[in-house]
Chains A and B, each alone.
Chain A
Amino acid sequence: MTDIEIVRGARSEKRLTAVDYINGIVNGFIEMHGDRYFGDDAALIGGIGRLGKRAVTVLGVEKGKNTKEHIKYNFGSVHPEGYRKALRLMKQAEKFDRPIICFVDTAGAYCGVDAEERGQGRAIADNLFEMTDISVPIISVIIGEGGSGGALALCHADRIWMLDDAYFSVVSPESCSNILWKTTDKADVAAKALCLTSEKLMELQIIDKVIKSGSVKKLKSELEKELLVLSKVSKDRLLDDRYEKFRKIGYDWS
């Protein structure tokens, strides 16, 4: 598969969405709503449940599976209140010492006048700022699209994993082609240049693990294993490691 085909595959309607992973991985999921400031963003699903024997907080960006659901979930484009709901639930997870799992699948944060006026940039910035110090393990898995800052706001984590057929990019290949070459026809060139596949991001040490797509069970056992590892790390060490993880990206210059 070429890189642009991977991008298109990651956008496919036939893929499993966040709900499938939550239901397949978390037992007895109880959904929580609202950011306590403005509203409840359907695109960002959050709640608690059990992964194996461990209580966990789960967050996921949901796209929906048909037109009706796409509209309900706003095509997986999160509003500021979605990011604020996520942060609220993450702080709650910290209080009750529960690890956090994020399933990320978004083309990007929602672009609209309302989203801008309610501080889309500030909401993302706040997540990055606060997640630096949330003293419970955070694992983020990109299950489809990892679109720019809107995806990063849920990936400021101890472990960033990707399904082998997902993508994670600073900009969509179409926009990149449009900005650089004034045409959307060169999206394939842009996709290749952006190094957005799981394989390349693993090489660049941006992500920590590639998971084979299609097996929810496999992902579940990997998550359980990793949470066991992370649960043995002291809180100070966890936060220091998280700092160093991001600190070393793009450090090598002369």
Chain B
Amino acid sequence: MKLKNLFLNPHNSLEYGEKKPKDRLVACKKCGKEIPVSKIRKNSFVCPYCGEYFIVRARRRILMLTDKRSFMELDRNATSKNVLSFPGYDDKLSTAIKKSRENEGVICGYGTIGGVECAIFSMDPIFMMGSMGAVVGEKITRLFEFATIKKLPVLGICVSGGARMQEGMISLMQMSKVSCAVKRHSNAGLLYMALLTNPTTGGVEASFAMQADITIAEPFARVGFAGPRVVEKTINRPLPPDFQSSQRVLECGFLDMIVERAKLKDVIEDILKLHLKG
């Protein structure tokens, strides 16, 4: 890896290309109430009537958690190639890029949270359902390497259906690759915090989502390894209603805490400050 490339082209891109939002109405998927966008935004993208958690895109997540104008993006131009010539993957990629207005399924960079410097990766739930291919794995690996060199903590915002099938074994091996970088970051005595959002499953859950020092989940997030339909088919019985819900995963001992979306920034900020040295 060429280290100097790590530091090329940082961008403050959160506001980039963002148009002045019109206050249109959006219907809540759960209670059906039509709510003005401004009101949803003010309420941390939670339905003010029924408490339903709306999907939050990767850039918005960073915007919600970092200090204003502090985020600098790294590796923003990385795009995937159809290395295996997988049928239909080229079309899927171009559709994903168009639909998501992102180059790939993760945004990496650094910024401050309550004044504390932190490296951040934020996965995008829209870009091919947050699946992990070579570029997602590479960007996250680079971020951990960057954070290790710069002695920064890492905040990882996870949302993923798992490894990206269209990249075959190359995508599966990203689990190994990222794990190596997480381990070296950990060996350097640095903090890694993972925020698991709905859904965090498959190969992402079975690697870096579950390797953090502190693991936080949002309420009502699905956190698990196997897909619920696969499990249901295997055991041939209906699943318990709370299966793979973050509440259940907390009870089972695999999460440190569940934090409401509106309180996330404060909690993350407090934890970061407790890990400041000197």
A1 contacts B by Cβ under 8 Å: no
B130 contacts A by Cβ under 8 Å: no
Q: Which chain B residue has the least Cβ–Cβ distance from A119?
A: B254
Instruction: Give a binary string over B169-180; 1 marks a CB under 8 Å from any A CB, 0 the rest.
Output: 111111111011
What residues of A have a CB within 8 angstroms of the CB of B187 in the complex?
133
Q: Which chain B residue has the least Cβ–Cβ distance from A123?
A: B206
Q: Which chain B residue has the least Cβ–Cβ distance from A179?
A: B165
What residues of B have a CB within 8 angstroms of the CB of A201 in the complex?
169
B221 contacts A by Cβ under 8 Å: no
A230 contacts B by Cβ under 8 Å: no
B74 contacts A by Cβ under 8 Å: no
B32 contacts A by Cβ under 8 Å: no
What residues of A have a CB within 8 angstroms of the CB of B224 in the complex?
116, 120-121
Q: Which chain B residue has the least Cβ–Cβ distance from A156?
A: B176
Q: How many residues of B contact A (CB 8 A)?
A: 60
Partner of A250, one of B173, B231, B254: B173
B167 contacts A by Cβ under 8 Å: yes
Output the least CB separation between B159 and chain A (Å). Answer: 15
A232 contacts B by Cβ under 8 Å: no
**C-alpha gap A249/B173 in the complex (Å):** 7
Show the binding face of B for A, using Cβ within 8 Å: 1, 78-81, 84, 86-88, 133-135, 137-138, 141, 163, 165, 167-177, 179-184, 186-187, 202-203, 205-211, 224-226, 230-231, 234-235, 239-240, 243-244, 248, 252-254
Show the binding face of A for B, using Cβ within 8 Å: 109-113, 115-122, 124-126, 128-130, 132-133, 148-149, 152-153, 155-156, 168-171, 175-176, 179-180, 189, 193-196, 201, 204, 206, 242-243, 246-247, 249-251, 253-254
Q: Please provide the 8 A-B residue pairs with the shortest distance between their CB atoms, ordered closest to farther.
A: A250-B134, A128-B179, A125-B210, A121-B225, A111-B226, A121-B205, A124-B206, A132-B183
